[in-house]
Every structure is written in C-alpha cells, then in structure tokens.
Amino acid sequence: MLEYKSMFIRVRTYIFYLLALFVLGWGFTTYKEVFLGLILGTSLSLFNLWLLTKRMDRFSKAFDEGKAVKSLGLLSRIASAVLGTIIALEYPQYFNLFCVIIGLMAAYVVIMIDYFIEQSHLHNYRKKRGE
C-alpha cells in the first residue's frame, strides 16, 4: 500500500516540474495555445492520478476489511477528460485540442518513465550488494 503512495508523490513532483516547464513555455514563446493546452491537459491528468490514488486507498481499505469493493472511478476520470476536451473545443483561440489530449496522457508517460528509473535504481542497488 505504501508503494503506490510513494509512487504518487514522485510522479506528482515530476508533473509539477513538467507544468513549470509548460508555464515557462507559455510565458516566453509565441506558442501560447500549445502550452495552454498542455497545461490544461496535464493538470487534468494530475487530477485523475490523484483521484485514482484516493480510490485505490479506499479500495485497499475495503478489501482488507472484507467489504464489497466499489469502482475505481473510471467514469469520473473520463468525465474530467471530456471536460478538458469541451473547454478546448469551446475556446480554440486559447487551447490547442491536440495538446490537451497529449497533456491528458502525461501522467501515464511519467509513470512509465518513473517505473524504468526505479527499476534501474533497484538493479544498481542489487548489483552493489552482490545479489
């Protein structure tokens, strides 16, 4: 249970750095719509990750207590993605739709990168110990 919480903290930190880069891109380049789309999509992606982490915590508690296990909230995560898409379609002068969709996938890409980094650290640690 603590493993996914520590993973969430790491991924959240990486996404905040990514959002900071997007804000700098929005502030210092002429591609305002692209970076606003990335900011919107990545923010919603972070919200979805937070929502999934909270639901996983409830799922784990219910499973440990032997209670009926509820959904992990797929509908609410889809609804937030639809909301981001609707915002981008309603205000195309501010948000690039393609970049919103890319931003919605940002958390999943960051999770995969984090997994490979953690596996590399684990492999190097075992190698040092002689396992």
Give the pLDDT confidence score for residue 126 in this predicted structure. Answer: 72
Task: Report the alpha-carbon distance of residue 94 to residue 88 in Å, rounded.
Answer: 8
Give the pLDDT confidence score for residue 107 in this predicted structure. Answer: 94
Task: Report the alpha-carbon distance of residue 23 to residue 9 in Å, rounded.
Answer: 21
Tell whether the model's pLDDT for residue 69 goes beyond 80. Answer: no
Q: What is the pTM of this model?
A: 0.87
Closest alpha carbon to 22 in 9, 34, 8, 10: 34
CB atoms within 10 A of CB 118: 14
Packed helices 2-28 and 106-129: angle between N→C axes, nearest 10 degrees:
130
Q: Can you give the length of the chain in residues?
A: 131
Percent of the chain predicted with pLDDT > 70 = 96
**Domain ranges, ordered by start, for the chain:** 2-129
Q: Which one has a higher pLDDT value, 77 or 1?
A: 77
Tell whether the model's pLDDT for residue 104 goes beyond 90. Answer: yes
Task: Report the alpha-carbon distance of residue 123 to residue 73 in Å, rounded.
Answer: 34
